[in-house]
Structure 1
Amino acid sequence: MKLIVLPIACLLVSLCVPAAQANNDPEHLIQSCQELVDIYAKRDQQRLLAGVATGLSEALRAGYCMGVVDEYRRRYQCATNDWYTQAQRVAGMTAAFGSRTSVDELLEQSCEI
């Protein structure tokens, strides 16, 4: 009986948890892309130690940036050659600019530069 109750309880709890939503904060995207660029810079400098030196929160933010940029590139044609170049452009934008715009506008501008 205990073997059946645990999976059912886990299923019920998971149904009560709201679905994850994408963060629609341009400043968060800028910071996340800065993390991504920093991780790649560490990787180039330290080779194998970059993975060890990268914390979980840094990796999650970098993954968020990579996912947002990649998804944008699936929907729209971009002037840049690759997602990393676009992520670098997002990372180079100031947080003050991010507070005056939306995520879509930020991605559009980083794509056209």
Structure 2
Amino acid sequence: MVVVDKPASIPVHPCGRYRHNTVVFILAKEYNLKNLRTIHRLDRLTSGLLLFGRTPKKAREMEQQIRTRQVTKEYVCRVEGEFPREPVECVEPIEVVSYKDWRLQGVSSW
């Protein structure tokens, strides 16, 4: 499995005008990680952990674990001030943060 801390504004796969500045291209070029299988996707403007299987079998196993909710997701946000303990409903628009550093800085493989 390969885990990448994907920054916002960079797509996972080549699409539209993005051919070389994609997670898949950078992993192949910079880390010689080729033929990776995407286990799940993140939109281009979304940052977060991205999972790849090194083999089709491992990717299928991980996809199954996600589908059967054996894997849980936790979302974290940055707030200003002290966040209340009770649940909060956010009705404000989500701010898009643009990163200037396009390199993948958090790549782990095992």
Give the alignment's TM-score, normalised by structure 2: 0.23
Mark the structure with the bigger radius of gyration.
1
Bigger share in helix: 1
Give the alignment's TM-score, normalised by structure 1: 0.22
